[in-house]
Structure 1
C-alpha cells in the first residue's frame, strides 16, 4: 500500500472511531510506557474493562505513581500495579522479565508503547544509539522474553493472547538506504556512531517504526498457526504527546513553529490516539487469523507499506530478524531457548 502525506492529513480530519470494549475479567494486561500520553489513556480504557491485573511499566517511579492515582481516580479501578522499567538499559529489561516470570503469572495482553524521538546521536549505557535501543531492540527483547507467559495465557483462555507493538504510519514514508538494505548487519550499521550523522538521524524515528513492523511480521511468520498468540502493530496517528518533547524544549525556530501549527490543525488528543492501541489489543476477535501480523490504522486492519511487502522488504525483514536474535542472545541467555521452544523456521 502507498500512503501519501495527504492521505494521513485526511485520516486526521476524519471522525475518530469509537473505542472498542471487551470483557477483561480474570485477565492480566501490561502496558509499557503507561505514565503519559497514549499509554496512560490506553491504560484508563483497559481499567474500565476491569481486568484482574493492570500492570503499568514506567521508567519514572514518581510519574508512574501519578499515573496510577489518575487512573484510579477517573475509573474507580483498584487493580493497577506500578512496575519500573527502563528500555534504555538492557539489564532493567531482563530484571523486569525475570520479575514477571516469578510474580506476573499468565499475560493476556502486552502493549509495547514506550518510545523516544530525538534528532541527535546519544548512545545508551549498553552502547547502542538510543532510539534504536528503546524503540526497537529493547522492545523486541521484552516482547520475546514474555512470549512464554503470553502463550500460557492463550492456552488457558478461549482467545489467543495479544502482543501489541506501537508503531506509526510514518513507516509508509521510509525506504532504507541502499547501503542499509545491502548490509548483512543493518542494525549494527544503523547504530554505529559513524552512521549516525545529523542527516541520518533525521530519519531514525521513521526507521525504528519500520523495524517494529518488520519485527511483528517476522515473529508472526515464525509462530505456528496453532500458537495462541497474535502479534499486531498499531498506528496511534498524529497525537498531542510527550513523544515530541525534544522539540518542545528547543528554542524558537521555524521548524518548531511549523510543528505547533501542524498540531493545532491536525493532532488528535492522546485519548483518541489510544483507541488504536485498544483496537489492536481487543479488536478483530471474530477473525483472529486476519489479525495475526496485522497493522491497525484508524481502528481497521490495513495493508502495510509497499516496501514491506516487496521482495526487498522480505529480504530485509529476515536479515533484521536474524541479526536481532543474534544481538539479543548476547543480552539474555533466555532468548535462544524461547526461540527454540516457541518459534519455527518460516
Structure 2
C-alpha cells in the first residue's frame, strides 16, 4: 500500500460491500461523529438497517443532523435516533458531549468520522490550525471521553465494545518533518509553508493529520489494553470517496469524478471496521481487511513518534481542555 499506482488500482478494482444481511446489531447503541452527511451518514444509515436499538448522530449543526435523522427513520423506523451537538473546534463542546455520553446506560459502537480538509491555513477558535484541531486534537479528546461508557458496557455484557477512528491512505504520504521539532504539535500549529494554494500536489497538513490519527489509535489501544479495558480500538481507510470533504480541492474533485467510491461504499468500510474483525486490536483496516499501516508507523521511529505525540497531546489537553478523569489513568500506564 501507499503507492500511487496501488491506490489507483484499488479504487478501480476493489469495491466495498455492505454488511451481510445476517449481521445483527439488535439492542446495541451506536454513536457516529460527522454523521449528518457523507460517509458518517451512510455508516449510521447502514448500522440502523441491521437492527440497531439506538443511534446517536454527533453533528456540528443540529438542524442538519435532524434532517439526517429523519432520512434514517424513514428507512429504519425501529431505531431510536438522537441528534447531539459536537464541535471539534471547541474543547468545551467536546467536554459537554463527553459528559453526556458518560451518562449513557449502554454504548457498544463508536465511529469517529468528523474531519476537515483545507487548502489554506485556517486557525480555529482554539488558536490551533484546523487540521490539527479538528482531525487530531478534537478526535483524540472525543476518543478519551468514549472509553468510560464503552468500557462500562463491555463489563456489563461480558464482550468487547468497539471504537473506530477514520484515517486515510494519505497517512502513507505524510512527510512529517515536524517530528524533528522540539515540540511537534507546536510546529504543526505554526507551519504554513505546506499551504501553497491550488498548485499543491498533496495536502500535506491533511495527510499529516491522518498519520496522527493512526499513531494516536495505536497508542490509545495499547494503553487501554494495559488498563484492562475490553474495547476493540482500530482505524480505517475508507478510500477516496465522493463526499463533501474534497469540495475545496480541485485536484481531488477531478479524481473523484474518475475513480472515487460512492459515499455509501465509503460508509461500508466504516461499518465493516467497527462491526467485524473483532480479533484485531490496534489495527489499521483498508479495503475491508486488516492491512499494514505505513512503514513509518511500524518502524522504531514511528513508535517513538507515537509516544512523543501522546505526551504532547495529553500535555496540551490537560492545559487547555476540561479535565477528563480517565486521561490520568491512561497516562500512568
CA distance in 2, matches of 1:109, 1:74: 20
- Alignment check: 8 A CA contact 1:48 1:77 kept: no
Measured against aligned partners, the alpha-carbon deviations of 1:286-335 in whole angstroms (never above 9, x if no partner) come to xx2xx111011010011110011111111111000111111111234433
- Alignment check: 8 A CA contact 1:131 1:204 kept: yes
Match of 1:253 in 2: none
Match of 1:128 in 2: 128
Structure 2 counterpart SS, 1:223: helix
Match of 1:227 in 2: 229
Match of 2:329 in 1: 341
Match of 1:100 in 2: 101
Match of 1:145 in 2: 145
Q: CA deviation at 1:121?
A: 1.3
Between 79-88 and 152-161, the greater mean CA deviation after superposition: 152-161
Measured against aligned partners, the alpha-carbon deviations of 1:193-224 in whole angstroms (never above 9, x if no partner) come to xx123547841100000000000001122123
- Alignment check: 8 A CA contact 1:145 1:334 kept: no
Moved over 4 A (4+): none
1:185 to 180, 183, 186: 183
CA distance in 2, matches of 1:89, 1:227: 27
Match of 1:293 in 2: 282
Measured against aligned partners, the alpha-carbon deviations of 1:234-289 in whole angstroms (never above 9, x if no partner) come to 01110000101223xxxxxxxx2x4443222200100001111111111113xx2x
Match of 1:210 in 2: 211
CA distance in 1, matches of 2:238, 2:292: 16
Measured against aligned partners, the alpha-carbon deviations of 1:142-171 in whole angstroms (never above 9, x if no partner) come to 110121111111112242111110000111
Q: CA deviation at 1:184?
A: 3.3
Structure 1 counterpart SS, 2:225: coil
Q: How does 1:321-340 map to 2 (within 5 A)?
A: 321-335=310-324, 337-340=325-328
- Alignment check: 8 A CA contact 2:95 2:322 kept: no
Match of 1:244 in 2: 246
61 and 333 in structure 1: CA distance in 2 versus 1, 3 angstrom threshold: closer
TM-score normalised by L of structure 2:
0.92
283 and 153 in structure 1: CA distance in 2 versus 1, 3 angstrom threshold: same
Q: CA deviation at 1:88?
A: 1.2
Q: CA deviation at 1:342?
A: 5.1
344 and 16 in structure 1: CA distance in 2 versus 1, 3 angstrom threshold: farther
Please, which runs of 5 or more residues in structure 1 have no aligned partner? 248-255
CA distance in 2, matches of 1:223, 1:260: 38
Q: CA deviation at 1:344?
A: 5.4
Match of 2:200 in 1: none
Give me the CA root mean square deviation: 1.8
Counterpart check, 1:116 vs 2:116: yes
